[in-house]
Amino acid sequence: MSDDILKVLLNEEQIEKRCIELAEQIESDYEKLHAVPIVVGLLKGSVPFMAELIKRFTFDCEIDFMSVSSYDGTESIGDVRIEKDMDISCRGRHILVVEDIVDTGRTLREVKQMFMNKGATDVKIVSLLDKPERRVVDIKADYVGYTVPNEFVVGYGLDYNQKYRNLPFIGILKPEIYE
């Protein structure tokens, strides 16, 4: 599996270090709000990042998951489908969406709009990665781990055709794998 990786962009140590910083920043912001947020992981890509982040939160929060899908291989299909909704109601709640990557931005724009339509008080986004060169809609994560170049990246939750999510680092996939 590692043979399919062209270059390691972020190793485990770098990711962990950044998660500690993000958790501190998020904690300080929610403490000021005196709110108990619902931390919502977008399945499946956010799972390793979410686990790394939430174990460092010492404030009261609830955890939930949603599954939305918008990719077929390396192609964003534009149409964001909700495949599994949250269990907890988001009405009147502060929501912290946990995402692995903001790429075109379509997924998060749809998800954020959906939370607002359902009556959430506030929606914030934390994303491990941001790929701003690919953005087609105007959306910005409130907290970003790392900005990455316009390359297809895998590992630490991110997949290509459901593979490579379990790599403990983030790397650029060799183009011949998906061409």
Ligand X SMILES: O=P(O)(O)OC[C@H]1O[C@H](OP(=O)(O)OP(=O)(O)O)[C@H](O)[C@@H]1O
Indicate if 103 belongs to the active site: yes
* Tokens read off for 125: 């986004």
* Secondary-structure breakdown of the chain: helix, strand, coil percentages, each rounded to the nearest 5: 30, 35, 35
Q: How far is CA 54 from CA 21, 74, 85, 124, in A?
A: 12, 29, 20, 15
Angular region, 153: left φ>0, alpha ψ -120 to 50, beta rest: beta
- Computed from CA positions of residues 156, 158, 164, 166, in that sequence, does the dihedral angle turn out positive or negative? positive
* Phi then psi dihedrals of residue 160, to 5 deg: -125, 115
Number of residues binding to ligand HPA, judged by CB under 6 A: 8
Least CB distance from residue 156 to ligand HPA, whole Å? 10
The one of ligand X, ligand HPA, none whose footprint includes residue 52, by CB under 5 to 8 A per kind, is none
The site partner of 141 among ligand X, ligand HPA, none (C-beta below 5 to 8 Å per kind) is none
> Which residues on adjacent β-strands are paired with residue 170?
10
Fill in the per-residue mask, 39 to 78: x = in contact with ligand X (CB under 6 A), - = not in contact.
Answer: ---xxxx-----------------------xxx----x--
Interaction mask 91-130, ligand HPA, x per CB under 6 A:
----------x-x---------------------------
121 binds ligand X (CB under 6 A): no
Kindly determine how many residues on this chain lie close enough to bind ligand X according to the rule CB under 6 A.
Answer: 18
Residue of 10, 26, 96, 101 interacting with ligand X (CB under 6 A): 101
Which residues form the interface with ligand HPA (CB under 6 A)? 71, 101, 103, 152-154, 158-159
